[in-house]
Amino acid sequence: MSNYQRFVLTDLTQSDLWVPELTLDSRAWPGRFPAPWKITKRTLRGGRRDGIDLIEVDNGILTFQILPTRGMGIWRGQFREMPLGWQAPVHGPVHPQYVNLLDRNGLGWLDGFDEWLVRCGLSSMGPPGIDPKTKEYLTLHGRIANQPAHYVEIRIHLDPPFELQVIGHVQETMLFAHDWLLKSTFTTTPGSSRLVVHDEIENRSMRTAELSLLYHINWGPPILGEGSRLLAPVQTMMPKDARAAEGLATWDLFDAPTPGFAEQVYFCELIADAGGQTLAMLQDPSQSRAAVLRWSKVELPYFILWKNTASMTEGYVTGLEPALQLPNFRASERDAGRLPMLQPGQSYRTTLAIELVDQMENVDDIRQEIASMGMPEP
């Protein structure tokens, strides 16, 4: 059985527990861990971030900042000296109190969008509009990113591989409608260049429910730059619209910041290995650094590339987005048969790894790994 210490930061289910500040440091367990690490929790104050809980995990070389108040998204990170995430026009993170999803003709979600990793879903995602079946007015990318966690826990595993875990539970519930429970676990280990996001999403309602889910994982400089490239074992790729079709020839290449650049979106299916695993890599212009995502195509069958290489002030960013379906309007995805139905009590599980690479030979290795997936087996 796992030997770990547990630190509950928030528990609003049975108790009324909320910890304002916490610091955990490997130095408190002398000689126990192979590398130093540190985890801190605090509440941000001022401006649009006022009241946001932030948990920063620093495993020694990789740092990431989890936002329980924003649906267990990740604000930003850092790998050695390299910042992870992007710089949105807004000075985020943005507390849900400053996000009105109904605003801007249903595009209000954009007002809170500045994370490195943000989930779209769970009852709907994609563009706003009235669902002809349910008559609901759906807003862009759904609600989960603006729901606060009601339960947050840190687990420090005391035996190899010494996992450092942050667990958060988030509800997306509407009386008389749906009731989703997201249990999210972020895992890394001391000195690792890898972060694993594991989600369990339970339909707690008493009716079958359609699940929408997309991981919007966003990269700006330095990984994104002129000459950056997406590599993935692409099986099929389809530009989302005429605007995306314009860039078809260079869909996997990135330009320098381009003022006024209008976004381009590409819908992909990737090749998976025998175990169902697939991956995508964003390599930097020098081909010596890269971000790699790994996940199961069984769990998340689609992959979307969002290119938004506008100017730095507008937001120079690309999104690598493993997803359960395409980010079209929900009714279209329903018609296309891409909305999984979860029975009452049923859970959907996903596991997603984010790896950072900063050695050219390692980037080469992954490039070869991707290339080999397109090959017929010997």
Nearer to a second copy, 212 or 296 (CB): 212
Q: For a second copy, which is the closer residue by CB, 288 or 346? A: 346
**Binding status of residue 123 toward a second copy by CB under 8 A:** no
User: Measuring CA to CA, how many Å separate 315 from each of 54, 70, 97, 240, 263?
Assistant: 23, 20, 23, 21, 11
From candidates 38, 61, 82, 100, binder to a second copy by CB under 8 A: 100
Residues 72-91 binding a second copy (CB under 8 A) are 88-91
Peptide bond into 259 cis (omega under 30): no
CA neighbor of 57 nearest in space, from 118, 14, 7: 7
Site for a second copy contains 65 (CB under 8 A): no
Q: Contacts for 24-32 with beta carbons within 8 Å, 24 or more apart? A: 24/154, 24/156, 26/190, 29/156, 29/158, 32/158, 32/162
Q: What is the C-alpha to C-alpha distance for residues 338 and 340, in angstroms, rounded to an integer?
A: 6
Q: Are 36 and 26 within 8 A, CB to CB?
A: yes
Those residues with Cβ within 8 angstroms of residue 306's Cβ, 6 or more apart along the chain or in another chain: 216, 218, 263, 264, 265, 317, 318, 319, 320, 321
If binding is defined by CB under 8 A, does position 173 make contact with a second copy? yes
Q: Are 43 and 55 in contact (CB under 8 A)?
A: no
Q: Which of 24, 57, 67, 101 binds a second copy (CB under 8 A)?
A: 101
Q: What is the C-alpha separation between 356 and 136, in angstroms, rounded?
A: 40
- 48 near a second copy, judged by CB under 8 A: yes
Judged by CB under 8 A, the residue of 58, 111, 115, 252 near a second copy is 111
Among 6, 17, 286, 359, binds a second copy (CB under 8 A): 17
- The residue (of 32 and 91) whose beta carbon lies closer to a second copy is 91
Q: Indicate whether 176 belongs to the interface with a second copy (CB under 8 A).
A: yes
Give the torsion sign (CA, 133, 138, 140, 145).
negative
User: Tokens representing 163?
Assistant: 């996992």
Residue 132 contacts a second copy per CB under 8 A: no
Q: Which of 121, 129, 142, 315 binds a second copy (CB under 8 A)?
A: 315
Q: Per CB under 8 A, does 51 bind a second copy?
A: yes
> Does 260 contact a second copy by CB under 8 A?
yes
Judge whether 238 and 366 are in contact, CB under 8 Å.
no
CB burial readout 248-259, b (16+ within 10 A) else e = eeebbebeebee
Nearest approach in angstroms of CB 195 to a second copy is 22
Nearer to a second copy, 3 or 14 (CB): 14
Binding of a second copy by 53 (CB under 8 A): yes
Residues 6+ apart with CB under 8 A from 177: 123, 205
Residues 136-155 that bind a second copy (CB under 8 A): 136-137, 148-150
Q: How many residues in the shown chain lie near a second copy by CB under 8 A?
A: 59
Closest CA to 73 of 149, 165, 126: 149
Please tell me whether residue 49 binds a second copy under the rule CB under 8 A: yes
8 part of the interface to a second copy, by CB under 8 A: no
Q: Residue 286 Cβ, how far from a second copy at the closest point, in Å?
A: 26
Query: Measured from the CB atom, is 104 or 157 closer to a second copy?
Result: 104
Provide the binding-site residues for a second copy, judged by CB under 8 A.
Answer: 10, 12-13, 16-18, 20, 44-51, 53, 69, 88-91, 96-98, 100-105, 110-111, 113, 135-137, 148-150, 171, 173-177, 179, 204-207, 259-260, 263, 310-311, 313-315, 344
